[in-house]
A = this chain, B = another copy of it.
Amino acid sequence: MKQVRSPGQRAGLTQARVLEAAHELVADEGVAGLTMRALAGRLGVLPNALYSHVATKNALVDALLDDLLAQVAEPGADVEDPIDGLRTMMTSTFEVLVAHADLVGLYISRQGARGPNAQRLGEVMLRLLARLDVTGERAIDARRVLIVYTIGFAAFSPRGVADGPPLPAAKVAEDYAAGLDWLLTGIATRK
């Protein structure tokens, strides 16, 4: 890959530009198209130049996933019903993730790390759970159930888990909502 810049001129890469190009690459070519070499090509740079800005490809995937979570709608602190707050938040998370389901699958397969956005959302969840009198270890457990359920559904959404033709997106969202209600009811009533 020859570069078109005149010699000595810097590419001027930055971590933000690398992440931005990576998002575009995944959008254009799918997660299978996300290779360090393709990403470098898109940035007009040799593959190894990326390692001045990201530690590894895995770290890059973690960062991409956490970036997505910045789009999740948080309920306002003044929401009346904490169950509604949790439902809103988890549904928003599901919608954001389901739009990038292949990336989520890659993330799961690596037992992805948790970034700053994930951490922030996790704290909002704990506050809402506390208002349901679910605290301490029980709150941690309930949160884990909600997160695993949401991420799992998003990862599976493109083809579903049953036989037959691909599922319509609306159907998947409906099923997700039904299961979410069951979980929230169970959590709230400490069954």
Q: Is the interface of A mostly helix, strand, loop or mixed?
A: helix
A27 interface residue, CB < 8 Å from B?
A: no
- CB of A144 within 8 A of CB of B160, answer yes
Contact A108 B181 (CB under 8 A): no
Interface residues on A, range: 35 or more
A179, B105: Cβ atoms closer than 8 Å:
no
Cβ-based interface call for A159 (8 A): yes
Query: What residues of chain B lie closer than 8 Å to A148, measured between beta carbons?
Result: 149, 152-153, 156, 161, 179
Q: Which one, B110, B145, B175, B191, contacts A105 given CB within 8 A? A: B110
CA distance A143 to B122 in the complex (A): 28
Q: Which of A122, A143, A163, A174 has the most CB of B within 10 A?
A: A163
Please name the residue on chain B nearest to A167 by beta carbon: B144
Residue on B nearest A155 in the bound complex, by CB: B108
Interface residues of A (CB under 8 A from B): 105-106, 108-111, 114, 119, 122, 140-145, 147-149, 151-153, 155-156, 158-163, 174-176, 178-179, 181-183, 185-187, 191
Could you list 26 A-B pairs, sorted by A, with CB under 8 Å?
A105-B108, A105-B110, A108-B108, A108-B155, A109-B155, A114-B161, A114-B162, A114-B163, A119-B163, A122-B163, A141-B178, A142-B178, A144-B161, A144-B162, A145-B175, A148-B152, A148-B161, A149-B152, A152-B155, A179-B186, A181-B186, A182-B182, A182-B191, A183-B183, A183-B186, A185-B191
